[in-house]
Amino acid sequence: MAHGNDPRRSARLIRRRLFALLMQAFGVVVAVTVVLLVGLLAVLAGAVTSGGMGWRPPVARELEVYYLATGGWAGVGAVAAQSAGEAGDFAPDWRSLTVLGADGRVWLDRGLAAGGLVGGVYPAGGRGVRFPLRAGGSQVGTLVLHRESWHGLLGLFSGLVAPVLIISFFTGLLTLVIGFLLARRVVTPLADVVAAAHQVAAGDLTARVQVRGPGDLRSLSDSFNRMASALETSDHQRRDLLADIAHELRTPLTVIRGKLEGMLDGVYPADEAHVAPVLEETYVLERLVDDLRTLTLAEARQLHFDRQPVDLGEMAERAVGLFEAEAAERGITLATELAPGLPLVHADAQRLGQVIGNLMSNALRYVPGQGRVTLSMRPAAGGGVEFSVSDDGPGVAEADLPHVFDRFWRGEKSRTRAAGGAGLGLAIARQLVEAHDGAISAENRPGGGLRVTFVLR
């Protein structure tokens, strides 16, 4: 088998593609999450450095406490000297801090009480982020945090970015685990359905998938299998139909051709005795074409029905009258059994008569001489009327009963082509009954023979 047509290889390729798509989707989600978090941190950092977030370094509170305790900024260098040995992510780096008084004069220059700017006015354009220092409800000074050393801010970033990176790493691992689990539970069953669909599209109607996975996928697999089975059955029926039609047409066409060629060659005289069989075979062909047309229209639900209340007694008399001559010639008794007080049935009288006629014709064809065919009508148990045509013929093998309504079906032995008919009568009857929303069935009688029953409401 070529690799391109290998179902297992095709399923593997589809699984890989689906798994790759799944992993890409998860990867995109993780990447977008990381980008959003980092972007958010960047925005927060920008807002912090611009002083627009209300965030203040912890040292600002320490300086405010010092001012309240001493009443001024004199000796603030001692605070810087005392805190210089402290460590930690948020411990102040006094080398990046400048303290201004309320008048703008420098009291502490980059952590030094003797810095170059101490005692002077801090330049208006000086760099750094300024944080007001308040005491007693008024601003008593300003803390300038220089950008050269963002120890506290770096601590903030390390405290936020590191967890994001760790979470992203474990999210990636979780993505892989989820991907493998989904591949087994979701991707694999879905890939099997896709691969089988490719097989069906390529003409392999025997393709089926294993029903597995979650509920929805199990339902999908089961529906696909039923669809493929229906397609396979329909294809077999189509092939059988074409073969049966060809077989049915071959016999009359052969007879017609043989007779006509014989007349043209002078083997047979063109008299009534030799022309009549040719005409009879054309009648057979005409009936076959009409039956096929009726069956096709009935199956497609394209037959027109004129439903009106039907007089069942009159219909029974008419049906028996159509077959009286044939039955009398063969010594067959025709009988009717009509229950009193039959309810009205709304049906197309012509199509209903066709159903009963097909059942009567089928019974007469196979019942032996001196036999009996009975048409009965009685109220149905669930409402409506039950019609049945029974005979005392050979019946049908139990294994063949499910097939008696199939097109061109004829049982073995007793029900052969020699008995006449194309095997469409019961198939047409079933379609017409179902078009009336009825049901039809066949069974062997306990005493011998076949009974075909249908119910209309």
Give residue 115's pLDDT: 73
Query: pLDDT tens digits, residue range 252-261?
Result: 888 888 889 9
Q: Are 435 and 298 in contact (CB under 8 A)?
A: yes
Determine the 3-state secondary structure of 123 from DSSP. Answer: coil
For residues 9-38, give the mean pLDDT: 72
Name the domain count of the chain. Answer: 3
Q: Do 292 and 329 fall into the same domain?
A: no
Provide CB contacts within 8 A for 317, sequence distance 6+.
Answer: 336
CB 356 within 8 A of CB 405: no
Are the C-beta atoms of residues 385 and 378 closer than 8 Å to each other?
yes
Same domain, 260 and 392: no
DSSP for 240-294, written as a single string: HHHHHHHHHHHHHHHHHHHHHHHHHTTSS-SSHHHHHHHHHHHHHHHHHHHHHHH
Supply the pLDDT for residue 352: 92
Q: Which of 1-15, 23-37, 67-81, 347-361 has the highest mean pLDDT?
A: 347-361
CB atoms within 10 A of CB 99: 30
Q: What is the pLDDT of residue 296?
A: 80
Indicate whether 248 pLDDT > 90: no
Residues 191 and 267 in one domain: no
H or E element: which one contains 133? strand 129-135
Contact 370, 391 (CB under 8 A): no
pLDDT number for residue 385:
94
Using DSSP's 3-state secondary structure scheme, residue 49 falls into: helix
Domain-ending residue, one of 278, 299, 320: 299
Residue 350 CA to residue 362 CA, distance in Å, equals 18
Q: Which pLDDT score, from 0 to 100, does residue 4 have? A: 47
How far, in Å, CA of 385 to CA of 379, rounded? 4
Are 90 and 189 found together in one domain?
yes
> Are 181 and 240 within one domain?
no
For 441, residues 6+ apart whose C-beta sits below 8 A from its C-beta are 452, 453, 454
Token representation of residue 11: 């399923």
- The Cβ of residue 129 has, within 10 Å, a number of other Cβ atoms equal to 17
Mean pLDDT of the chain: 79
The arithmetic mean of pLDDT across residues 411-438, rounded, is 71
DSSP code of residue 64: H
State the pLDDT at residue 33: 75
H and E: helices and strands count for the chain: 10, 11
- Report in angstroms the alpha-carbon separations of 314 from 127, 171, 310, 321: 114, 82, 9, 11
If asked whether residues 12 and 109 sit together in one domain, one would say yes
- CATH number, residue 261: 1.10.287.130
- To the nearest 10 degrees (0 to 180), the angle between helices 425-435 and 349-366 is 150
Q: Of 392, 300, 318, give the one whose Cα is nearest residue 354.
A: 318
Least confident of 34-38, 276-280, 281-285: 34-38
pLDDT at 202: 85
Task: Please report the pLDDT score of residue 14 as a whole number.
Answer: 67
For position 413, which CATH number holds? 3.30.565.10
Tokens of 313: 């007694």
Do residues 295 and 434 share a domain?
no
Q: In the listed set 299, 318, 351, which residue is the last one of a domain according to the structure?
A: 299
Cα 417 from chain centre: 45
Q: Work out the average pLDDT over 338-347.
A: 89
What's the pLDDT band for 412 if we cut at 50, 70, 90? Answer: very low
Higher pLDDT among residues 444 and 122, named by residue: 444
Percent of the chain residues topping a pLDDT of 90: 15
What percent of the chain shows pLDDT beyond 70?
81
* Residue 90 clears pLDDT 70, i.e. is over it: no
Per-residue pLDDT reduced to its tens digit, 305-325: 889 999 888 889 888 898 998
Query: Please, which pLDDT band fits residue 147 given cuts at 50, 70 and 90?
Result: low
| Residue 258: both structure tokens together | 């043989």
**Residue 121 phi, psi dihedral angles, 5° rounding:** -85, 135
Same domain, 358 and 386: yes
DSSP conformation class of 367:
S
pLDDT band at 414 (very low <50, low <70, confident <90, very high): very low
Does position 416 have pLDDT exceeding 70, yes or no?
Answer: no
Q: C-alpha distances in angstroms, 115 versus 79, 98, 102, 120, 157?
A: 15, 10, 19, 10, 30
In this structure, the answer to whether residues 11 and 68 fall within a common structural domain is yes
Range of the domain at 452: 307-456
Mean pLDDT comparison of 60-64, 96-100, 378-382, highest-scoring range: 378-382
Q: Are 408 and 292 within 8 A, CB to CB?
A: no
Residue 88 pLDDT: 47
**Single-letter code of the amino acid located at 350:** Q
Same domain, 317 and 445: yes
* Bigger pLDDT: 226 vs 106: 226
Cα(312)–Cα(403) distance, integer angstroms:
29
Residue 436's CB is within 10 A of a number of other CB atoms, namely 21
- pLDDT tens for 1-23 read 444 456 566 666 766 776 777 67
Nearest to 384 by CA among 437, 320, 421, 335: 437
Alpha carbon of 183 to those of 15, 26, 211: distances in Å?
8, 13, 15
My answer on whether 7 and 131 are in the same domain is yes
Q: Is the pLDDT of residue 291 over 60?
A: yes
What is the distance between the alpha carbons of residues 83 and 58, in angstroms, rounded to a whole number? 12
Torsion of CA 427, 438, 440, 410, to 10 degrees: 0
Give the mean model confidence (pLDDT) for residues 426-455. Answer: 92
Q: Which helix (H) or strand (E) holds 97?
A: strand 97-101
| CA dihedral sign of residues 195, 200, 206, 212 | positive
Q: What Å distances lie between residue 362 and 19, 315, 405, 442, CA to CA?
A: 61, 18, 12, 12
Taking only the tens place, the pLDDT of each residue in 148-197 is 544 555 555 556 666 767 777 777 777 777 767 766 677 777 778 888 88
pLDDT of residue 84: 57
**pLDDT per position as a tens digit, 59-73:** 788 888 888 888 888
The domain boundary residue, chosen from 250, 265, 299: 299
Q: Are 376 and 388 in contact (CB under 8 A)?
A: yes
Please state the pTM of the whole predicted model: 0.52
Give the H or E element holding residue 324: helix 312-330
201 and 229 share one domain:
no
CA dist 411 and 444 (Å) reads 14
